[in-house]
A and B are shown apart, each in its own frame.
Chain A
């Protein structure tokens, strides 16, 4: 009897052990499946280079990815933190009709669908010829409507809100989604708390975008080197601010390092590959999950951006006037913008533009950043290890779409740039994408409403135009935002300036 019992007892233990092992196995599989399983993006995403540029993952979902349904409901839950109706689009994020995600937003399943970003979110431009028109998007152009700072703050502010909790959020998610019980549990107990924690962790690194004594970046700008300084190399916060325009990055093969060309507004990077790597690392927010894959993406971008053509001016050009302008261009501009000097640094003292951007970066920071990237096992020529002393004399291809002008975007139009400093606009709106064909740039003031038929209305006795709702006000007296310098051509006659601007349309 006893022996029988003992044997059956041992058998029971074996059975229980087996069951446990099996359960652990199933558990491990489910865990892997629900959190780590990587699915390729749907075929259409990589089917054409354009789609890949706009929606293709560069691997940012691993560390910077927000769980899809959280990303989905944030604008619905926290509309009061957005500047207007339209969800993410109200922040100037570009979104194509018919597409699930905005341009530059990527969706990828890593265990669960996650949303992250790619380069296109900051590097796609939009323009319209008049308000009642669907915008045209130009890939690799500067996203001059995007309020990136407000987007960063929106995500953090949502996380700081007490309503960012599983109960409230699940209620909103359940209005839109039909999740399985297991997925609901995963969101409730794991993804929502972890996402909140991760977003709050960003707050410390982003402290400087909350500083009241710093001006807003406003639409179409970011503080690029400070982003690198506080995220990539984790330097302590200093007192510098140097917001710059989102750059265009078409036709990158024009930069020839062997000719001494440098990249970024202040020439702080050696070549296109380095810039792409550093920017992409910024989007990833961490070391690449898979280095080989990451470098493949980099190679792809290098090729794609290398040969992507600058957009041609889509409106009419007065050819005769432009020809007259060409003569003036050769006289007044070519020395820097169509010569051996192009693509190389011009001393800050010479060009005289705002110094804010220069002060955000240093030799020390460059050495540290190069070390950090090298430690990831990524080889690149990297950042220029010196204190930035001037600004790059820009190549002018597609200059018509790169408004506002100068590195900090402090001058609304090309025509304004040809005026002496005291006659350049001191207050104007950025981020409105209706084009100003007269002054070449975007419409930047409610005073120009009549020119393009901008809708205006009277609110409580005051006239309010569309640009005042959409745009962010730019004040040239704020730090890093000065519109001084680059006074070249400002002494031309008025009709000469017009002709010169007409010629610039052709570039």
Chain B
């Protein structure tokens, strides 16, 4: 022993020191790596046990690539307030200005999830942003949040324009954002965050937003969607970076209403043609296609958490019509429905049986606005075959998109909450839909959540409430036509009594 220690001490003191220093260095490097791994390696979404809460606030995985660092997110409406008109009256809940919903005094709206990722809490959209809305009985009533219904108040185009114009603004820089974050966070920003993490994050977010802006800008130059609508496949083309400047104008407008998304089970079982033009028959594929809108790509999709939502939506039912229904009138309406509507729209609000339910009616026959149909091209459908390729699970790759030549006949579950009607939301109420197009409203307002029990739909005649103005929908604008779904077969020639009875019956759906 001693001999050995002498050997160490006397003959090779330098060597021993060297080894010791080396070991200490190694330990230090290891320690730093572990600390960094702990600080930046976590990938943990905020979890919700309750499935409805998960739907409203849970993660689809999109934050991993698209997620805004929480504090940048909170600072943006202040940095770019001028690009979000009306937001100042909602401090901390600024996105109310574009129709986003906030429960109580929550800091994030319905439809935003949070995930710890790359050492930051990152936030981004989830399914609920487009598929949750509110209903009020009267202007002085309390808005009731209903999940799964079309997001009738959310102006997604205004939201996207806000983000993109903000990203292009000189103020989207550490000099402007970091002091704001410092203030918002109660001056608790740590040095590492302040000088390293956030400046880098700001650069990364700006880079990503500008990349998206480059691809989406041409779509955002189309006529305003207004609240409750989106150009789904215009967005898909943007992701493919199609050179839309070389496309015919007939392909450029594909704006449609957000759909309701409850009761997917029967749709799946009956292999219905999903989407407004019935371009896909596979529920899971349709879902993952929609999830691109939440930033979820093959690389970022949180498969386990999306599955939870997917399963829940299979059987999730719409809420029943909460207002009085005239039963004898509704009973009379049932026979009108059976004669005119059931073949295409199903036996009733829960049974979707019928020879043509979930199938496409040719455009020449249905004759509704053709823009959405024409915007979805065969060339897009085949390019979608490449989505989710090579993920390791060959079943994930998209293979069910098809070009169709008409619009799909939808089941009518929860119809009362799905106003305005037709694929482009061009007819405010059910009662209006039973009029020939010449007698349907030519302009009306969208985005209001007070219910119109007489005509069944939302009140569409108010232009503003407490300083919040609603979107004036003009049916003369390209893509907004309210023609079609009319004539003898569609009930627009029925006597007034029958129309009233039919509308009464449709309340039960």
Given the complex, which residues of A lie within 8 Å of B390, measured CB to CB?
68-69, 113, 177
Q: Is B271 at the interface (CB under 8 A from chain A)?
A: no
List B382-427 residues whose CB lies under 8 Å from chain A: 382-383, 385-387, 389-391, 394, 397, 399-403, 405
B3 CB to nearest chain A CB (Å): 8
Question: Closest A-chain residue to B362, C-beta based?
Answer: A132
Expressed in whole angstroms, the Cα–Cα distance for A313 and B103 within the complex equals: 65
A97 touches B242 (CB 8 A): no
Q: Is A298 at the interface (CB under 8 A from chain B)?
A: no
B297 touches A85 (CB 8 A): no
Which single member of B65, B379, B391, B399 contacts A90 (CB below 8 Å)? B379
Question: Closest B-chain residue to A78, C-beta based?
Answer: B241
B479 CB to nearest chain A CB (Å): 15
B478 CB to nearest chain A CB (Å): 12
Question: Closest A-chain residue to B4, C-beta based?
Answer: A1
| Known A90-B379, A113-B390, A177-B298: A455·B243 in contact at CB below 8 Å | no
Expressed in whole angstroms, the Cα–Cα distance for A85 and B405 within the complex equals: 19
A97 touches B383 (CB 8 A): no
Given the complex, which residues of A lie within 8 Å of B389, measured CB to CB?
72, 100, 176
Contact with A along B229-249 (1 / 0, CB 8 A): 000000001011111101111
List B363-392 residues whose CB lies under 8 Å from chain A: 377-383, 385-387, 389-391
A44 CB to nearest chain B CB (Å): 10
Contact with B along A165-202 (1 / 0, CB 8 A): 00000010011111000000000000000000000000
Residue of B251, B297, B390, B402 with most partner-chain A CB within 10 A = B390
Expressed in whole angstroms, the Cα–Cα distance for A76 and B386 within the complex equals: 12
A84 touches B247 (CB 8 A): yes
A97 touches B382 (CB 8 A): yes
A98 touches B383 (CB 8 A): no
A80 touches B382 (CB 8 A): no
A174 CB to nearest chain B CB (Å): 7
Given the complex, which residues of B lie within 8 Å of A176, measured CB to CB?
297-299, 386-387, 389
Q: Is B287 at the interface (CB under 8 A from chain A)?
A: no
Contact with B along A451-477 (1 / 0, CB 8 A): 000010101000010100100000000
B205 CB to nearest chain A CB (Å): 15
Q: Is B335 at the interface (CB under 8 A from chain A)?
A: no
Q: Is A25 at the interface (CB under 8 A from chain B)?
A: no
Contact with B along A121-145 (1 / 0, CB 8 A): 0000000000011110000000000
| Known A86-B379, A99-B385: A177·B299 in contact at CB below 8 Å | yes
A455 touches B250 (CB 8 A): yes
B381 touches A97 (CB 8 A): yes
Q: Is A398 at the interface (CB under 8 A from chain B)?
A: no
Contact with A along B253-272 (1 / 0, CB 8 A): 00000000000000000000
Q: Is A75 at the interface (CB under 8 A from chain B)?
A: yes
Question: Closest B-chain residue to A44, C-beta based?
Answer: B394
Question: Closest B-chain residue to A468, C-beta based?
Answer: B248
Which single member of A42, A79, A174, A455 contacts B248 (CB below 8 Å)? A455
A134 touches B247 (CB 8 A): no
A85 touches B400 (CB 8 A): no
A39 CB to nearest chain B CB (Å): 13
Given the complex, which residues of A lie within 8 Å of B391, measured CB to CB?
178
| Known A76-B240, A84-B243, A85-B244: A98·B400 in contact at CB below 8 Å | yes
Given the complex, which residues of B lie within 8 Å of A89, measured CB to CB?
379, 382-383
Q: Is A485 at the interface (CB under 8 A from chain B)?
A: no
List B407-456 residues whose CB lies under 8 Å from chain A: none
Question: Closest B-chain residue to A456, C-beta based?
Answer: B248
Expressed in whole angstroms, the Cα–Cα distance for A76 and B248 within the complex equals: 19
A470 CB to nearest chain B CB (Å): 10
B114 CB to nearest chain A CB (Å): 22
Question: Closest A-chain residue to B406, C-beta based?
Answer: A132
Expressed in whole angstroms, the Cα–Cα distance for A457 and B241 within the complex equals: 24
A429 CB to nearest chain B CB (Å): 15
A100 touches B237 (CB 8 A): no
A462 CB to nearest chain B CB (Å): 13
Number of A interface residues at 8 Å Cβ cutoff, please give it: 42
Residue of B65, B242, B244, B380 with most partner-chain A CB within 10 A = B242
Expressed in whole angstroms, the Cα–Cα distance for A75 and B380 within the complex equals: 13
Expressed in whole angstroms, the Cα–Cα distance for A96 and B379 within the complex equals: 10
Expressed in whole angstroms, the Cα–Cα distance for A386 and B379 within the complex equals: 45
Which single member of A42, A95, A469 contacts B382 (CB below 8 Å)? A95
B379 touches A459 (CB 8 A): no
B378 touches A134 (CB 8 A): yes
Given the complex, which residues of B lie within 8 Å of A102, measured CB to CB?
382
| Known A89-B382, A457-B248: A132·B405 in contact at CB below 8 Å | yes
Expressed in whole angstroms, the Cα–Cα distance for A408 and B452 within the complex equals: 68
B169 CB to nearest chain A CB (Å): 23
B405 touches A86 (CB 8 A): no
| Known A84-B243, A175-B297: A457·B249 in contact at CB below 8 Å | yes
Expressed in whole angstroms, the Cα–Cα distance for A177 and B298 within the complex equals: 6
Expressed in whole angstroms, the Cα–Cα distance for A83 and B241 within the complex equals: 13
Given the complex, which residues of A lie within 8 Å of B383, measured CB to CB?
86-87, 89
B203 CB to nearest chain A CB (Å): 14
Which single member of A76, A80, A100, A174 contacts B397 (CB below 8 Å)? A100
B363 CB to nearest chain A CB (Å): 8
A79 touches B405 (CB 8 A): no
List B485-501 residues whose CB lies under 8 Å from chain A: none
A86 touches B298 (CB 8 A): no
A466 touches B298 (CB 8 A): no
Question: Closest A-chain residue to B7, C-beta based?
Answer: A1
A100 touches B240 (CB 8 A): no
Residue of A72, A87, A174 with most partner-chain B CB within 10 A = A87
Question: Closest A-chain residue to B279, C-beta based?
Answer: A97
B243 touches A79 (CB 8 A): yes
Given the complex, which residues of A lie within 8 Å of B242, measured CB to CB?
79, 85-87
B377 touches A85 (CB 8 A): yes
Q: Is A77 at the interface (CB under 8 A from chain B)?
A: yes
Given the complex, which residues of B lie within 8 Å of A80, measured CB to CB?
243
| Known A98-B399, A132-B405, A177-B390: A83·B248 in contact at CB below 8 Å | no
B298 touches A459 (CB 8 A): no
A459 touches B385 (CB 8 A): no
Given the complex, which residues of B lie within 8 Å of A373, measured CB to CB?
none
Given the complex, which residues of B lie within 8 Å of A178, measured CB to CB?
298-299, 391
Expressed in whole angstroms, the Cα–Cα distance for A137 and B382 within the complex equals: 14
B98 CB to nearest chain A CB (Å): 26
Given the complex, which residues of B lie within 8 Å of A68, measured CB to CB?
390
B403 touches A134 (CB 8 A): yes
Q: Is A378 at the interface (CB under 8 A from chain B)?
A: no
Q: Is A323 at the interface (CB under 8 A from chain B)?
A: no
| Known A80-B243, A455-B248: A85·B298 in contact at CB below 8 Å | no
Given the complex, which residues of A lie within 8 Å of B401, measured CB to CB?
97-98
Expressed in whole angstroms, the Cα–Cα distance for A76 and B387 within the complex equals: 13
Given the complex, which residues of A lie within 8 Å of B380, measured CB to CB?
85-86
Given the complex, which residues of A lie within 8 Å of B250, measured CB to CB?
455, 457
Given the complex, which residues of B lie within 8 Å of A457, measured CB to CB?
248-250
A97 touches B402 (CB 8 A): yes
**A–B Cβ pairs within 8 angstroms, 11 of them:** A84-B247, A85-B242, A86-B382, A98-B400, A98-B402, A99-B399, A113-B390, A133-B405, A177-B390, A178-B391, A459-B249
Which 3 pairs between the two chains have the least Cβ-Cβ distance? Answer: A86-B379, A85-B242, A178-B299
Residues of B within 8 A of A (CB): 7, 65, 211, 237, 239-244, 246-251, 297-299, 377-383, 385-387, 389-391, 394, 397, 399-403, 405
